Amino acid sequence: MGIALRHISKRFGSQVALDDVSLELERGERVALVGENGAGKSSLMNVLYGLYAADAGDIALDGAPVRIRTPADALARGIGMVHQHFTLVRTLSVAENVVLGNEPTRGGLLDLPRAIAEVQATCRRFGFELDPRARVDALTVGSQQKVEIVKALHRGVSTLILDEPTAVLTPQEADELFAVTRKLADEGLTVVLISHKLREVLSFATRIAVMRRGKKVAEVKPADATPESLAALMVGARTPPPPPPASTPGEVVVALERVTAGRLKEVSLEVRAGEVLGIAGVDGNGQRELAEVLTGLRRVEAGALRLAGEGRPLTPRQARALGVAHVPEDRLHHGIVTDFTVAENVSLGRHRLAPFAKGALIDFAGRLGRTSALLESHDVRPREPGLRMGALSGGNQQKLVVGRELDAAPKLLVAVQPTRGLDLAAVDAVRARLLDFRAKGGAVVLVSLDLDEVLALSDRVVVLYEGRVTGGFARAAFDERVLGRRMLGVRDA
């Protein structure tokens, strides 16, 4: 016995998110959900987790109908969900986040020593190396992902939904995660994996459900599938994009000379017009600080930064005025406002400028026109400027962020994890936009934990380890094994 979702349908305005979807989850299964962004994978699991109310259909648990109205209802029935975008309170410790809403108390107050001990026990049981006393905002993105998983496991769930869990993990961390979840499934835990990484899906799942445009179109066993056959079910036949043509770099757009800022230590590099500089490294080795320095979010402590020959930006507004655009690592917290409309999100960062404003007033007609044009040119769907931003799929949100930043005609684009959690079609679309900007003379700093992406898009690659540059490579010298060693701080003999 297990969970049965039967004939689930859900709409957001004119957008059909789920169309008569049925899915069964047996105890101890490892079920993968695959499909393009907007196919309905996360929406279906959000219904199961109580975040969305279905317009039609029902849910049964061990054969008995149940009503799940809230995440608290889901957790009470042993259903936990780890979201692609974290729901952590960044100013609290790991232990405080894990026990939040179910805190051990003493005298009516949080019993912090007991909470720490309980969380330590959970981490040891499942093999996660986390310091329960550490503040979440001091952790790497990969460690924050682990906190989310521990938070669900700590509550004793019997069904665990993982939404793109390895999007921010290193290959080693991903292997460790899947080893743990396989063990849990062997002990009776049901694991649902939402992922766009098809090889990952094939190696982990015992059953794969494929969704397209709100419908479940197929269920297959990994032994009967390949990445190509799954991609065809998801989006039809797909021809991988050709490698980018050789670049002809122009003038220096940005130069760093022995810059120190936070984890970044005496870094020197330059980026020229018409090239993509890839930044490779294991998460937490200074990539975030580099992006923050370039975009005015972090002050330079030592060294020199020159942007377009005009000096360094001291604030994000100054950076924008000097021609810097930014696709942030976490679009939900730093790139969009989900409760604003699509049109309002398009104007963010330029709301004082034409065509979004006339003097001190909002130019509603100008904003609508520019938004409509951007939705069309960047293939963002649905093309409804008045729709709440949170109703768009992750891929369409990301395409809009990239389109908005490029629409400002910048000199430099700092793109951090630009395709994190996107499906094949959305990945191709975002990468094509970056390469088109480069072909028109733009400079791109690409920060990605996906080494394949760095190698596919970059003209040159710089490796960061413990905040320092440990290697620089031109395209002709790309060697994944050498880069991997440099990322771990190992120099060639």
Structure tokens that stand for 389 in this block? 């931003």
If you average pLDDT over every residue of the chain, what do you get?
Answer: 90
Q: Decide if pLDDT at 81 tops 90.
A: yes
Domains of the chain are 2-235 (3.40.50.300), 252-487 (3.40.50.300)
Band of residue 236 on the pLDDT scale cut at 50, 70, 90 = low
Residue 240 pLDDT grade (very low, low, confident, very high; cuts 50, 70, 90): low
Q: Quick check: 21 and 40 in contact, CB under 8 A?
A: yes
Average pLDDT for 232-246: 71
Span 190-213, pLDDT tens digits: 999 998 888 889 999 999 999 988
Name the pLDDT band for 73 (thresholds 50, 70, 90). very high
Instruction: Tell me: pLDDT of 493 over 80.
Output: no
pLDDT at 361 over 80: yes
pLDDT band at 96 (very low <50, low <70, confident <90, very high): very high
Q: Which pTM does this prediction carry?
A: 0.65
Which pLDDT score is estimated for 170? 64
Share of the chain above pLDDT 90, in %: 68
Residue 452's identity, in one-letter code, is D
146 pLDDT band (50/70/90 cuts)?
confident
